[in-house]
Structure 1
Amino acid sequence: MEDILSLIKEEMDEAIKNMEKRFTNVRAGRANVAVLDGVMVNYYGSPTPLIQLATISIPEARTLMIKPFDKNSLSDIEKGIFEANIGFTPNNNGESIILSFPQLTEEKRKEYVKQVKEMAEDAKIVLRNIRQDGNEAIKKEEFPVDDEKRGLERVQNLINEYNDKIEDSLKEKEKELMTI
């Protein structure tokens, strides 16, 4: 029984981690290095993650500065950001690339809140599927009736705990998005 519950807990932790990773990709009007996570740069003919080619800093609340280790790669990095289609126009000043995060409109904020609510709901669906698989695994093991009932209750308690974690993360992200 403990093995099944341990596996369920691991899967739920992974579901929460994936949701929170998706949350970081929703920008809140402030500079966030995570928007560049998926940016690949064609560096001397091979696709290379941007983070391996430059230092990325946040000099101001709504500005990212990308300073390449090799100045010859500036135009490649700029092109990589364009091709990644992350919604920003890079500004190349010859030394570094500046990305400015515009102030979010109320409409855009509400749209982003709607997106994170959908992400949270997707995570809850994953949890429900994990619960269903866990319950089936417990029933399949043919434990004594009392043990099976306790196991199913423990699975439900885990689901409740992780649903609360999802709600807490969602509220935190909503607050972040709606703060001007």
Structure 2
Amino acid sequence: MIKDIIKVSDEKMNKTITVLKKELASMKAGRANPAMLDKIEAEYYGTMTPLNQLGNISIPEPRILAIQPWDKGAFKSIEKAILKSDLGINPSSDGEIIRLIIPELTEETRKNLVKNVKKTGEESKVAIRAIRRDCNDKIKALKKENEVSEDEMKKAEEDIQKRTDSFIKEIDKLLEAKEKEIMSI
């Protein structure tokens, strides 16, 4: 019983880390990164479709993203989706390729991005702690039903705390790396 509860909590905590990694990858840091476009969807034949399914995304230069649509009919909707997004970048196209030039980040923009990174990290930590709390509650419920002993409950809670601490450390490492990436010129 306890092993199952811990296994489920581990899976949820790993999922939280995966979501955080995707979130951090989509934040712009002054360099071109295809993950910046992951959240953007364009209308394609009446269906909202992710950009990476509408064309080839490449990085010809460190600060340029190039999107080469597979279907020329998707050009306008891709451009419109980029303009509507929160990227704040105007696409330029030559009829073959849509180019996004990533602007240099100002000091103020860097500081705001770091604040957003920290906020996102804190939300992930809160999620990890909520998973820990749910797990502990389930174990206490087992104790009330006399399915586990007091010692087993304490040992399981310590185990869950160790796992929680390790996931929090991993989040801190991810945040530190992203912060360095943003602040480096």
Please report the TM-score for the alignment, with normalisation by the length of structure 1: 0.94
Equivalent in the alignment of 1:97: 98
**Cα separation, 2, equivalents of 1:129 and 1:163:** 12
- Indicate how the Cα distance of structure 1 residues 73 and 127 shifts in structure 2: closer, same or farther if over 3 A, else same: closer
Segments of 4+ moved more than 6 angstroms: none
Q: How does 1:1-180 map to 2 (within 5 A)?
A: 1-142=2-143, 143-180=148-185
Specify every segment of 5 or more residues in structure 1 that has no aligned partner in the other structure, as ranges: none
- The Cα shift of 1:48 comes to 2.6
Contact 2:26 2:37 in 1 (8 A): no
**Cα separation, 1, equivalents of 2:82 and 2:171:** 31
Q: Alpha-carbon deviations, 1:70-120, whole Å to 9, x = none?
A: 234322321222223421100011221110001111111111111111111
- Indicate how the Cα distance of structure 1 residues 160 and 92 shifts in structure 2: closer, same or farther if over 3 A, else same: same
- The Cα shift of 1:45 comes to 3.6
CA RMSD of aligned residues (A): 1.3
Contact 2:68 2:97 in 1 (8 A): yes
Specify every segment of 5 or more residues in structure 2 that has no aligned partner in the other structure, as ranges: none
Please report the TM-score for the alignment, with normalisation by the length of structure 2: 0.92
